[in-house]
Structure 1
């Protein structure tokens, strides 16, 4: 079954879709309006550059409790999914930006007794709330089919209510950037209702301490391998500054043991696409090797390799297990 068929089937199964079918004409009018806005915007805008979150101005608004939005009278959430930690794709207008953090995914429709409800009214309400929070619109266009195909099928099915009909309608994305967190909002039409995805990402709160060179040596002598706490930027191979202490301890280990050769192996949890995870884990292992060689370790003593999500050490069905599976291992060669 193709991705588009899978998602459309899930969307059509939603109970509130049947209630919305009587308002098809209103939905088509709304869709036409959005498409006209997109055409005008495309004609007036120069080719967009790659998304850079650092260019989003900081907001000082009080966000309140996640997911930060209270619905206006006459509307309700349906088919809601919430996660304390998930890897979520957001459309930036040129590409998918993968965000790790809290997730709220839901469809929004009018209550049966609220006959006046429609997509455009709830859209305008949500946009007003998001802008009051300091939200900046970064995308307002339809996601290309080849980009949609990069969203894993299991994610599309599980969060279909929040993704909406991304195959046939434009998607709007907003970002609220604050000192201690970033909030992402994505709105997509589906017939006469609206889909909403909200994610909150925060700077990583590292509680694990770097293993000393002697502790690393002891584990390698005993088990021939040891897992270390090295943190990376979300969905990237960039080593975060808080991992510098651990890098320095690995450097000390190798300098104190000149005959020691190590495999630097990257691992991920099973969130997202397996092929992407495999590539990312390899890139992260290469980044660690690069950091070590820059510190004076000979490259012929190090071998980098990524295994993606193929070698879990814990259950991926819960967040504790996923955290343990996201790791870098040092293996004695």
Structure 2
């Protein structure tokens, strides 16, 4: 039954990249199709810009994050009858088909802090060029301009790129000054492709690990991947874990510090704790594979030892890593 629902939702997503009713000069993002029957009311693209996404921290406080890269924003008008929740389900399918999708934050109805959404995503400074709107700002400018809000912020990793995607959808209020769009669902889709992305799934085999440890006393591993802001290993990490086990099995005298590193986004205490949890997760995997626990020590240094600037996402990606350091 679940498989049937997934296929049905996939069919709802249109694969076309243009429509007669679209805003002139606009188009769908090449990696993210529209919901079938919708049309583009607003569009903006920048080769390099800082995006706006909403994220909840561990204390449930909503904050704004601003990754940088190729930024696309599209305002769609859904076909009559489509509701915000249906829109979100369709985009959830599209993101899972694009790559390894990780939901960072989502909300719906009263769970969404409407004023924050309006002030962040559609302020007089952040709204995008539109067509066919009498009063563009008042479409989404205040919380009373819309009802039934939903929002989902995710990041998606593919073999060659990383994307941040935010989808806000809501029903335009019955008294909205944009009369032609009253009680219709609109969705504001923001896609940020990290520019100059360098895939962190670089593969280092057991022999290269041993060689780098002998030559420099440590080796940085980017093939160990975790879910966003978590210490949960992603499936693609298995191959690198297997190579660490091989390296330790081939040299029974080798003892290691397993060191977690993060970027500097967030508080120092949070990142230190996260990096230690991630290091412990790797140690647990290695012990589970038969390596003696006494040969391994987990450490977390957070953002204290960067290998690149944290000013841009490409540098932050390099700083998020696990290192193996020789221990006497």
Given the two structures, how large is their TM-score scaled by the length of structure 1? 0.54
2:137 pairs with 1:186: no
Q: Distance in 1 between matches of 2:70 and 2:267?
A: 18
Tell me, yes or no, if the aligned pair for 1:268 and 1:327 is still in contact at 8 Å.
Answer: yes
- In structure 2, relative to structure 1, the CA distance for the partners of 1:138 and 1:282 (3 Å cut) is same
User: Match of 1:288?
Assistant: 282
Describe the superposition over 1:74-132 as per-residue Cα deviations: whole angstroms up to 9, x where unpaired: x6568x888699894457xx967999998858798xxxxxxxxxxxx98999x769739
Indicate which of 187, 207, 215 corresponds to 1:214: 207
Indicate which of 94, 108, 112 corresponds to 1:139: 108
Indicate which of 146, 151, 173 corresponds to 1:173: 151
Given the two structures, how large is their TM-score scaled by the length of structure 2? 0.54
Indicate which of 206, 210, 217 corresponds to 1:224: 217
Unmatched runs of 5 consecutive residues or more in structure 1:
1-53, 109-120, 149-154
Secondary structure at the aligned position of 2:14 is classed as coil
1:243-322 alignment runs, 5 A limit:
243-322=237-316
Tell me, yes or no, if the aligned pair for 1:314 and 1:321 is still in contact at 8 Å.
Answer: yes
User: Match of 1:111?
Assistant: none
Q: Distance in 1 between matches of 2:141 and 2:220?
A: 40
Aligned-pair CA distance for 1:291? 0.4
Describe the superposition over 1:114-152 as per-residue Cα deviations: whole angstroms up to 9, x where unpaired: xxxxxxx98999x7697398257951225579xx9xxxx
Tell me, yes or no, if the aligned pair for 1:267 and 1:281 is still in contact at 8 Å.
Answer: yes
Q: Distance in 1 between matches of 2:164 and 2:313?
A: 20
Tell me, yes or no, if the aligned pair for 1:267 and 1:309 is still in contact at 8 Å.
Answer: yes
Q: Distance in 1 between matches of 2:192 and 2:39?
A: 22
Aligned-pair CA distance for 1:239? 1.5
Tell me, yes or no, if the aligned pair for 1:233 and 1:240 is still in contact at 8 Å.
Answer: yes
Secondary structure at the aligned position of 1:265 is classed as strand
Question: For this pair of structures, how many residues does the alignment match?
Answer: 251
Q: Distance in 1 between matches of 2:50 and 2:320?
A: 13
- In structure 2, relative to structure 1, the CA distance for the partners of 1:184 and 1:77 (3 Å cut) is closer
Tell me, yes or no, if the aligned pair for 2:49 and 2:71 is still in contact at 8 Å.
Answer: no
Secondary structure at the aligned position of 1:304 is classed as strand
Q: Distance in 1 between matches of 2:315 and 2:213?
A: 23
Q: Distance in 1 between matches of 2:318 and 2:153?
A: 30
Q: Distance in 2 between matches of 1:165 and 1:196?
A: 15
Secondary structure at the aligned position of 2:323 is classed as strand
Q: Distance in 2 between matches of 1:274 and 1:291?
A: 26
- In structure 2, relative to structure 1, the CA distance for the partners of 1:72 and 1:217 (3 Å cut) is closer
The structure with higher relative contact order (CA 8 Å, sep 6+) is 1
Q: Distance in 2 between matches of 1:324 and 1:245?
A: 19
* Structure showing the higher helix proportion among its residues: 1
